[in-house]
Every structure is written in C-alpha cells, then in structure tokens.
Amino acid sequence: MPRTRSLAWSELKIGVLTIVAIVITALTIFLLTGGRGFFWQRYNLKTRFANVAGLKAGSPVRLAGVEVGSVKDVELVGEQVDVTLEVNKNMRDRITNSSTAYLGSVSLLGESAVDITPSTKGMPIEDWGYIPQGHGPGQLSDVTAKASEGIEEITKLVQDVRRGRGTVGKLMTDDQVYAELHRFVATAGEVARGIREGRGSMGRFVNDPKVADSLEASLRNLEEMTRQINAGQGSFGKLLKDEEFARSLTGATDNLRTLTDRLNRGEGTAGKLMTDATLFNRLNSVADRFDQLMTRLNDGQGTAGQLLKDRQLYENMNGAVTDLRALIVDIKKDPKKFLNVKVSIF
C-alpha cells in the first residue's frame, strides 16, 4: 500500500493564514458597516424627495437617530428624486406605512442622511415599498432658508431707509424731521435743567425736601389708617371686622330678598301694583281723568276753570271781598247803625 504523505508545516501555515485573513476581512467589513449587518440581513426600501440636498450613495439611514442602514442609490424620476435604501430586516416591524422619511444631517458640514420616524401602529412596508415623505424638525436646510429670507428682508429694509420710506427713512433723509427732532431734544434738555434747578412743580417735587417730607407724612398717615382698619378701629374698620354688622347686613339682605320675592308673587299693595293688571288699569284711568280735569281747567271750562281764566270774574270776586271787608269795618265802628232792633208789644 502507498504511504500517506504527511503535510508539511509550511503548507499548513499557508492554510491557517488564509483562514485568518478571511476572518479578519469579514470582521472588518462587519465593523465598517456598523449595525447594518451583512447583505443577506438587509432589505430594500424607497422614498421620494423633491430635493436631496447632496444626498449620495453610502449616506447613513437612521431610525429614531440609530443607524440601521445606508443609501443604496439616488436617481432622478421626473421632477422628483427616488432614493433606494438598504435597511436591516430586524427593523421591519418598526418601519410601517405610518412612518415618514425626511432629510437629516450628520454634521454641521452639510453631510446628508435619511431619517425615518419609527411607528408600530401601521403595516410593515414590503421590499421595495415607498416610505411616505415627511418633514423633520429643525433641518439645516430650513435654517438656511429662514436665514436667506431674513437677509432679504433686511436688504429691503435698508433699501427703504435709503429711499426715505418710513419713519426711520424720513429721519435719516428728511432735514426737516431732523431739525424737529433736534428742537425736541433741546426742549427736553431745557426741561431737565429746569427740574434739576427746582423750577416748576416737578422741579420743586424733585428738589424741595419739604415736598418729600409731606409725601412721607402722607404715606405714614395712610399706613396708620390701614393699620386701624385692619385692627377694626373706626367705622370703616368695624364695617370690615365686626361680625355683628356682617350678620345685620346679611339679615338686611335676606329681608330685601324676601320683600322682592313677595313683590314678585304680587303680595301686598306694591306687589299688586306690580303684578295686578286691574289695579294698574284703575290707576291709569284715574290719571287719565285727572289729566282731563287739568285740561278743562286750562281751557277755562266750568266754575273753577272760569275762576282761573276769567279776569272779570276774578275782579268781581275781589271787589266783593273788598266791599265785604269795608262793611265789617263799618259794623265794628258803629254797630247800632246796622243792628237796630225794635220790640213792639201788641
């Protein structure tokens, strides 16, 4: 029988080194891909953007900030851009039709990434399915757009100021406005000097110590009055602190409420006056008759009306009263002249 040739150490060493190199290469690939896994552990998804802002193949794909894949391809489709993603299969349950994809950034240098919002409420998206487009909070592109809008507004504002539009523009270009402002500043300075020198009411208030003393005394009086009120002293203090007065006020309120209820129910004369239509009609009829009487008097109808309106009747009555008064005076002077009584006996 032929002898089996034993392997030389040199041949065995080459095989071992080859195996080690393959293992190192596989580990290196796995480490470089991070948590993306091997190609058989991934599945493909798509999303569509209007502008990818420099996104390219190899850019990271993140789910809630955790890297779960990479961008496989970026291609134009009409006016939109289709982005193909490779994502770990163990994230399938977290990427559903309720998730959204939007452009994020890896750093402030502008390197783009695709961020996906996780959602377990919808149905998982199948291979090569589209993730709905969303809008992420605080994207760098949005900040840039807002900054550009702000710069444009500032530019327009500066141009308007140079053309003399608006208050600031007129202030910078209109000599009359500048002169008026200069006069106003001068007047304000004069007023301030007057106050410092003690002129006028405000100047005396600021510089006269008597005014400060009077104000301090008023504050002390106010403080003392407040203390007395809090202590229940005086009429106002009792009004706030006296329980008996509070009970009396409550009783008066209850009585007023009872009286109001009785009036609303039509009890008593006032209640009937407010609620009984018959009594109201009677009073209204009396008022109408009184009005008619006053009208007749003003028109001079009847004795009382003629007495008020007829001048001749007034003068006759005045003359009769005068004659009667003169007769009474004559009777008092010589009563025998008017009271002559003869007694005859037949």
pLDDT for the residue numbered 130:
92
Q: Distance (Å, rounded) from C-alpha 102 to C-alpha 104?
A: 6
Quick check: helix, strand or coil at residue 135? coil
Residue 85 counted as domain residue: yes
Domain ends where: 91, 110, 137? 137
Domain count, the chain: 2
Quick check: helix, strand or coil at residue 37? coil
Domain ends where: 137, 171, 192? 137
Number of alpha helices (DSSP H) and beta strands (DSSP E) in the chain: 13, 7
How many angstroms from the chain centroid is the CA of residue 106?
41
How many angstroms from the chain centroid is the CA of residue 173?
39
Residue 107 counted as domain residue: yes
Rounded to 5°, angle at Cα 187 from 181 and 191? 145
Residue 197 counted as domain residue: no
Residue 15 counted as domain residue: no
Residue 87 counted as domain residue: yes
Quick check: helix, strand or coil at residue 134? coil
Domain ends where: 102, 137, 172? 137
Q: Rounded to 10 degrees, what is the CA torsion of 170, 174, 180, 184?
A: 50
pTM over 0.75: no
Strands 129-131 and 42-49, bridge-based pairing: parallel
pLDDT for the residue numbered 1:
44
Computed from CA positions of residues 47, 51, 57, 61, in that sequence, does the dihedral angle turn out positive or negative?
A: negative
Residue 335 counted as domain residue: no
Q: Distance (Å, rounded) from C-alpha 53 to C-alpha 113?
A: 10
Quick check: helix, strand or coil at residue 331? helix
pLDDT for the residue numbered 27:
67
Q: In what order do the strands lie in the sheet with 101-105?
A: 101-105, 112-116, 60-63, 66-77, 80-88, 42-49, 129-131
Residue 221 counted as domain residue: no
Residue with tokens 């990434």: 113
Residue 339 counted as domain residue: no
Residue 302 belongs to what domain range?
284-313
pLDDT per residue of the chain (346 residues) written in tens, 0 to 9: 444 445 556 666 677 777 877 878 766 665 555 455 556 678 999 999 988 877 888 889 998 888 898 899 999 888 899 999 999 988 888 899 989 998 887 765 667 888 899 988 889 999 899 999 887 665 555 666 677 788 888 888 888 777 777 777 777 777 777 778 888 888 888 888 877 777 777 777 777 777 777 888 888 888 888 888 787 777 777 777 777 777 777 888 888 888 888 878 777 777 777 776 777 777 788 888 888 888 877 777 777 777 777 677 777 777 888 888 887 887 777 776 666 655 555 4
